[in-house]
Amino acid sequence: MSFLPLSVLYLFSDIARFFIYHVIRYRREVVRRNLQNSFPEKDLKAIKQIEKKFYRNFVDVFFEILKAMSISKDYITKHVRVKNPELLEKYLDQGKSLLVVTSHSGNWEWIGNQIGFSSKHHNFGVYKRLRNPYFEEFTKKHRERFGQLKTIEMNQVLRTLVRLKNQSNLVYMVADQSPRGAESDYWTIFLNQETAFFRGMAKMAKALDYAVIYAESHRVRRGHYEVVLQEIVSDSKSISEDEIIERYARYLETFIRQYADNWLWSHRRWKHKRKGLS
C-alpha cells in the first residue's frame, strides 16, 4: 500500500475516517470533552467543526506515515517546508547544540525527518520504547531509514548526549506527552485547565547547556506542511526549568488556538489531576 500514490491513499483515508468517526466512534467522548474544556467560549457547532476536521487530519497522518515507508528524501522535502532553517544553523555553526521541541501536531514523523534534512550536523530523535519488540524494531528502522537521523530511547537520552557533548548536536523531541501526575511534574494553566508537563525536556537542556527551539508545524493543505521555528531560550542555564517549560507551553497554546484541528485531541492529555485538586 505504501507504493500507492498519496491521492489514492487519501481515498482509503476518507473511507477509514467514516468508520472511525461514525461507526466505531473512536474516542469521540475523549475528543469532545477535551475540545469543550479547552474552548469553553465556543458553542457546540464550532466544537463539532473542529472535531470533524481533526478526525480527517488524524486518519490522514496514519496513511502519510504508511506512505513514508517507501518515499524519498526529495518527496518529504516537497511536502514539508521549514520556513526559517537558518535559525538552526545559526547555533550549530557556532558549536552550540540544540533541542528542537515540537508537539503532536501536523505530521510529526515527516517533520522530524525534514528538520534533520535541514541540518548538516549530528541529528537525533528521541522516542519512547514500544512494548511490542517487532514494532519497536520496525519503527526504529523506519525513522532512521534516510540516514540523517539517529534515534535515542527516552531513558538513554541524557547518558548518550553527555557522551557526545564535544560535538554539535540537534535533538528533536515531541514534548507534549502526558505525564503520570507525579509531584515532580510542572503544572500550569494550559487551554483553561490545570495541566502537567514533563520536566525532562528542561532538565536535559539545562544539564547539557542546549539552546531550545520550538518547531510549530501546521497543515497547509492535504499532504503539505509548514514548519516555523521559534527560539524558546538561547542559554538554558540562564533561566529556570519552570520558565523553559512555561515558554514552551505558551507557544504551544498559541499554536493550538490558531490551528485547533491540527493537534492530537484523542490523546488523554488531562487524565491525571494535580494532588489536592478534585
The 10s digit of each residue's pLDDT in 7-54 is: 999 999 999 999 999 999 999 999 999 999 999 999 999 999 999 999
Is 71 a residue whose pLDDT tops 70? yes
**pLDDT bracket for residue 183 (50, 70, 90):** low
Q: Higher pLDDT residue, 177 or 40?
A: 40
Residue 182: pLDDT band (50, 70, 90) is low
Q: Using CA atoms, how far apart are residues 16 and 261, in angstroms rounded to an integer? A: 18
The pLDDT of residue 138 is 77
Q: Each residue of 206-250: pLDDT tens digit?
A: 999 999 999 999 999 999 999 999 999 999 999 999 999 999 999
Average pLDDT, rounded, for the chain: 91
134 grid coordinates:
517487532
Please report the DSSP string for the chain in residue order. Answer: -TTS-HHHHHHHHHHHHHIIIIIS-TTHHHHHHHHHHH-TTS-HHHHHHHHHHHHHHHHHHHHHHHHTTT--HHHHHHHEEES-THHHHHHHTTT--EEEEE-SBS-HHHHHHHHHHT-SSEEEEEEPPPSSHHHHHHHHHHHTTTSS-EEEEGGGHHHHHHHTTTS-EEEEEE--------TTSEEEEETTEEEEE-SHHHHHHHHHT-EEEEEEEEEEETTEEEEEEEEEES-GGGS-HHHHHHHHHHHHHHHHHHSGGGB-TTS-TT-S--TT--
Q: What are phi and psi of 125, to 5 degrees?
A: -115, 130
19 against 148, higher pLDDT: 19
Which whole number is the average pLDDT over 75-89? 93
**First and final C-alpha spacing in the chain:** 47
pLDDT of residue 270 exceeding 60, the answer is: yes
The grid coordinates of residue 71 equal 518515499
List the beta bridge partners of residue 186.
197
193, pLDDT greater than 90: yes
Give me the pLDDT at residue 192, please. Answer: 96
Binned at pLDDT 50, 70 and 90, residue 181 comes out as low
Let me know: does 43 contact 198? Beta carbons within 8 Å. no
Higher pLDDT, 277 or 1: 1
For residue range 93-142, list pLDDT tens digits in order.
Answer: 888 999 999 999 999 889 988 988 878 788 999 988 778 778 777 777 77
Distance CA 233, CA 248 (A): 10
CA distance 7 to 193: 39
Q: In Å, what is the CA distance from 62 to each residue of 10, 57, 59?
A: 10, 9, 5
pTM, two decimals, is 0.92
Nearest C-alpha neighbor of 77 from the set 5, 148, 152, 12:
148
So what's the pLDDT on residue 136?
77
